[in-house]
Structure 1
Amino acid sequence: MAQIAEDLLLLLLDNGSAQPGLDNPRRGHVLAAATLLDIAYSCRVRPSVDGEPVPPGRLVALDAAGPSDPVIAPALDYLRATPRRPADAIKALARHTEGRLLEHLERMGHIRRVSLPGRGFRRREAYPLTDRRRVGPARDAVLAALFDRRPPAAPAAAIITVLHAADGLGALLSLNDRGWRWVHARAGEIASGSWVDESPTGMAEVNLAVTASAVRQALAQLS
């Protein structure tokens, strides 16, 4: 299950227009990065290290069993072909990840697709949420981690990390200068991996944090 990427897209759609609240190409990049972190959280990819037969920092697919879905499977197949640089993986996966996520969320009944009037032959669509049972807890988790300094669970930490790296937190929040100073400081702490030390973690969380470090550096370069 692509929980991180799904929750992130639902959060970006949770607005009055029912359209993603982050511009492209940043939106494509953060959704692709979130998908990579979903795969890392399931311990099926990690960055390479010194001494391995591939350059350090490449994303290496692992032989780990686990459920897959229409979002995770193509991304995992791409990573299995050869070790990838994080920036290359983000750019490649950004081409199709949003479309796959929208189709998957619509099939699951989390959103519905609405055609909007447009000029010429260009079709515009909105994706209103069908209910808030999924997006509500996801938003609460992000806000609690940022404003109440609660130790974030892995999905919330990953969402904060990719949005912070792409300077995309403004798609979720509207704050004054003082509020932004607080949020950027706290988000920076989380993006640095401090969340792993704030609560008990296991191998999945550690692998996610290590992979997130490589992914966020690539996101920052692409933004």
Structure 2
Amino acid sequence: MTLIAEDLLLLLLDDGTGKPVVDSTKLPRVLTGAVILELAMDGTVSVAGDNETTKKGRLAVSGARTVSDPILERAVEAIETAKRPMTPKSAVEKLHKDIREQVVARVVERGFVGEEKGTVLGLFPTTTWPALDSSHEDRVRETLHSVLIDGLDPDARTSAVVALLSAIDATHKVFPDADKRAVKNRAKDIAQGEWASDAVRKAVQDVYTAVTVAVMVPVMAGTSGS
């Protein structure tokens, strides 16, 4: 079973060029959001509410967690050992540093993409990840098409992928030939929908907001400094 972060990465890499279709600010943060959301959906992590030992709005780790995936385990350990309980936003910022490399290594290992190194102008090193075996990505894309364009009801996992794509305004990049406004509006409706339990829906909303804010802050900082 692939992680939600792996499915997202495959969707956000151009199959031909192997380059991400979103910028370097958005990609690691949305992958981190996917990891946090996966942990929330399997009950390992929750967003604390009222009358809990962890401060409201912070991430709390379940005492009965059984995480076996290394990428998820690293995230859980970072949340558990933080000096202060993390909010979803602070977790996205603190955990995103190496996440792209971790997820890329996974999809390369699975044989979904290759890894090609080169240079720009003979000076600047570059790496791209063109598709090798797109069968898994095609299935994910077909499921998304049925939900975003055909209007079928999504399952929880598909809704999570849609919410994360919506958070970085990338749904139209996955389906560039579709009606951009209609796809974006459908994605937002799904992101805010009643498809999950209250606890998971709270996590989705908080991660959605955290990723949206996280990708905007560097852009605003760059604009103000220019």
* Alignment TM-score > 0.5, same fold: yes
Identity %: 27
Q: Please report the TM-score for the alignment, with normalisation by the length of structure 2.
A: 0.86
Once the two structures are superposed, residues 33-64 of structure 1 have per-residue CA deviations (whole angstroms, 9 ceiling, x without a partner) of 01111111221001000122333111111123
Q: Secondary structure at the match of 1:145?
A: helix
State the one-letter code of the partner of 1:6. E
What 5-or-longer segments of structure 2 have no aligned partner?
217-226
Where in structure 2 are the equivalents of 1:38-117 lying within 5 Å? 38-82=38-82, 83-117=85-119
In the alignment, the residues of structure 2 paired with residue 170 and residue 70 of structure 1 have an alpha-carbon distance, to the nearest angstrom, of 31
State the one-letter code of the partner of 1:208. V
What 5-or-longer segments of structure 1 have no aligned partner?
197-204
Once the two structures are superposed, residues 194-222 of structure 1 have per-residue CA deviations (whole angstroms, 9 ceiling, x without a partner) of 334xxxxxxxx654333111111112222
Q: CA deviation at 1:14?
A: 3.9
- 8 Å contact 2:15–2:131 — kept in the other structure? no
Deviates more, 1:4-13 or 1:167-176: 167-176
- Pair 1:143 & 2:145 matched: yes
- 8 Å contact 1:15–1:21 — kept in the other structure? no
**Aligned CA-pair RMSD:** 2.0
Q: Please report the TM-score for the alignment, with normalisation by the length of structure 1.
A: 0.87
Task: Tell me which stretches of 4 or more aligned residues in structure 1 moved more than 4 Å.
Answer: none
In the alignment, the residues of structure 1 paired with residue 177 and residue 183 of structure 2 have an alpha-carbon distance, to the nearest angstrom, of 9
Q: How many residues align?
A: 213
In the alignment, the residues of structure 1 paired with residue 92 and residue 34 of structure 2 have an alpha-carbon distance, to the nearest angstrom, of 9
State the one-letter code of the partner of 1:217. T
- 8 Å contact 2:67–2:73 — kept in the other structure? no
- Pair 1:210 & 2:202 matched: yes
